[in-house]
Amino acid sequence: MELQHQRIHELCGQLKLDAMAHVYPQLATEAVSKQLSFADFFEGLLKSQMSARQIRSQQML
């Protein structure tokens, strides 16, 4: 699993999805423990990325 996590982290970096790369391990663990669907897990990742971009955008103003 560690190798897969590393590949996901690298791909997120290449796609400039830094927030996703950062929260992925925590959200994946939470999804397993709470038996969340993939859609719920993925929505959490997307929300994290969007939130980080909004914060960064506001900081630049």
Domain assignments of the chain as residue spans, ordered by start: 2-60
> Is a pLDDT exceeding 80 seen at residue 1?
no
Q: pTM for the complete prediction?
A: 0.83
Which pLDDT score is estimated for 54? 94
> Is a pLDDT exceeding 80 seen at residue 60?
yes
pLDDT, tens digit, 9 for 90 and up, residues 18-55:
999 999 999 999 999 999 999 999 999 999 999 999 99
20 Cβ contact partners less than 8 Å away, ≥ 6 residues apart: 12, 45, 46, 48, 49
Which pLDDT score is estimated for 40? 97
> Is a pLDDT exceeding 90 seen at residue 13?
yes
